[in-house]
Structure 1
Amino acid sequence: MPVGSGWWYEVKLDGHRTVLWRGPDGVRLQARSGRDVTAAWTDIAAAGLQLPVGTVIDGEAVVYVEGRISFSAAQSRAASTPARARVLAEQRPASYAVWDILAHPDLGDVRPRPYSARRALLLELLEDIRPPIQVVPATDDPETARFWYDTLHTQGVEGIVAKHANSPYRASRLWKKVRHAETVDAELVGYTGPPVRPRHAAVRLPDGRTVLSQTLSPRLAARISAHLATSGPPRRARTSGGDTYSTTGPGIVVEVLAGTTRHAVVTVTRVR
């Protein structure tokens, strides 16, 4: 975790990154990919009507299950049909944890302004806004941030995001994310790229979900390529998140470094 003059720290919640647009005709919610996800999060959209027209904010759509943030519940909501999403919203209402403001109703585009100024604008704007919209906790005290990191993971907090007070809004380029992590064994089920030099491994995690790893190192790519050469012809398949990969035969287990909460990003560390 970076320390020093100007660093601020926010808790990193385990949900779905969502931008909220309050326009003259209502509220629109947008995923990180740019896709319109308003129908999946109608309870958040309804709450967004409290905001003044011209507001654009960035945050995380989260769902609590038995007092703990559940990424699987958020994933189920995001992947549901509009009708099913409405049912899930009644069973487990979502919350919207806001960490930044992109446009202010009176000032327009505020992305070039420093983080500290945007944070002040955000707190002022949301001061009288009721839940489920709320501001993500932030501190400039590294000891408080370390306490959050050490104690809040049991509630589904994924880690800490560090942002410099002088930094403008540029998606996540200037953010430093410090996640909780653990090593788990996963079954290699496929790959992306050419079989002689695979770029990503498709692995099946202990909870049954299939995900793509981060880019393989040359050493690991060579080890996996040797296995692919004897595993038979591949077929096309999709991960639990919808990414396409080429399958491989069984028989190889890899050790991966994965987030303790949702295993959304995995890094292969070695072949068993």
Structure 2
Amino acid sequence: MEFPIRPALARAVPTLPTGPGWHFEIKLDGHRMILRRTDDGVICYSRTGRTVTSHWMDLAVPAMVLPPGTVLDGEAHPDHGQDALAARPYTERRTALVDVLAHVGPPLQPVLATDDRDTALQWYETLQPQGVEGVVAKPSGSAYPFGGRTVWCVDCTIW
């Protein structure tokens, strides 16, 4: 993997997808960041590839407990939602993310996730005052689309 990576992007669509095989995560309002644990430390990149580690030391320091080679993609803000990067299907990436962050704790933590569309719609309709700006929808078998422009749904991402 070449760094800095190009994170997945999105485009607007009118509604959340229906049918089997979709997984949903809340989308927090914040600064997009890629966090990379190297053998020697932690490097944080902005969406454009600029090194921003010094701006996010509150994330870089706790990330030192992550295994070298770990790469996280997420929104950095007071709730610090994160999403693991890998060339594996979403369900495997999500499991790996939960496992790798299990012993880290806040501020590095996975965002809420569900495979129930009604729950995702309820999150979208009720959690905006807590900083949730949308819902991310991902097919269970999808690989991470490095640099690709994927589908959004009026504040909801689909990839």
Q: Which residue of 2 aligns with 1:162?
A: 137
Q: TM-score, normalised by structure 2?
A: 0.82
Paired residues of 1:20 and 1:27 also in contact (CA < 8 A): yes
> Using a 3 Å threshold, how does the CA distance of structure 1 residues 175 and 118 change in structure 2: closer, same or farther?
farther
Of 121, 127, 148, the residue aligned with 2:123 is: 148
Asked if the contact 1:167–1:174 (Cα under 8 Å) also holds between the matched residues in 2, the reply is: no
* Letter of the structure 1 residue corresponding to residue 123 of structure 2: W
Name the CA distance, whole Å, in 2 between partners of 1:40 and 1:115: 29
The corresponding residue for 2:81 is: 97
What do you get for the CA RMSD once the two structures are aligned? 1.5
Aligned to 1:132: 107
Alignment of 1:76-95 (within 5 A): 95=79
Which residue of 2 is the match for residue 115 of structure 1? Answer: 90
Tell me the CA shift for residue 175 of structure 1: 4.6
Structure 1 CA distance for aligned equivalents of residues 151 and 138 of structure 2: 5
What SS class does the counterpart of residue 178 from structure 1 fall into? coil
Matched residue SS, 2:77:
strand
Q: What are the superposed Cα offsets for residues 176-206 of structure 1, whole Å, 9 maximum, x if unpaired? A: 34328xxxxxxxxxxxxxxxxxxxxxxxxxx
User: The residue matched to 2:125 in structure 1 has which SS?
Assistant: helix
Deviation at 1:61, TM superposition (A): 0.3
Supply the distance in 1 between the matched residues of 2:153 and 2:37 (Cα, whole angstroms): 28
Whether the aligned pair in 2 keeps the contact of 1:163 and 1:175 (CA below 8 Å) is: no
Q: Where is the strand percentage greater, Structure 1 or Structure 2?
A: 1
For the residues of structure 2 that align with 1:166 and 1:178, how far apart are their CA atoms? 23
1:21 equivalent in alignment to 2:36? yes
Q: Give the aligned partner of residue 65 of structure 2.
A: 50
User: Counterpart in 1 of 2:152?
Assistant: 176
Residue 173 of structure 1: how far off its partner (Å):
3.1
Structure with the bigger RCO (C-alpha within 8 Å, sep 6+) is 2
CA contact (8 A) 1:161 1:178 kept: no
Q: 2:81 is aligned with what amino acid?
A: A
Q: Distance in 1 between matches of 2:71 and 2:155?
A: 27
> Which residue identity is paired with 1:35?
R
Superposed displacement of residue 124, structure 1:
1.2
Give the direction of change, closer, same or farther, for the CA distance of 1:19–1:35 in structure 2 (3 Å limit). same
Cα offset, 1:96, TM superposition = 2.3
**Structure 1 residues 29 and 23: CA distance shift in structure 2, 3 A:** same
Structure 1 stretches of 5 or more lacking a match?
A: 64-94, 103-109, 181-272
Whole-angstrom CA distance in 1 between matches of 2:109 and 2:151 = 21
Q: Distance in 2 between matches of 1:148 and 1:122?
A: 21
Over 3 Å counting, the alpha-carbon distance change for 1:166 and 1:176 in structure 2 is: farther
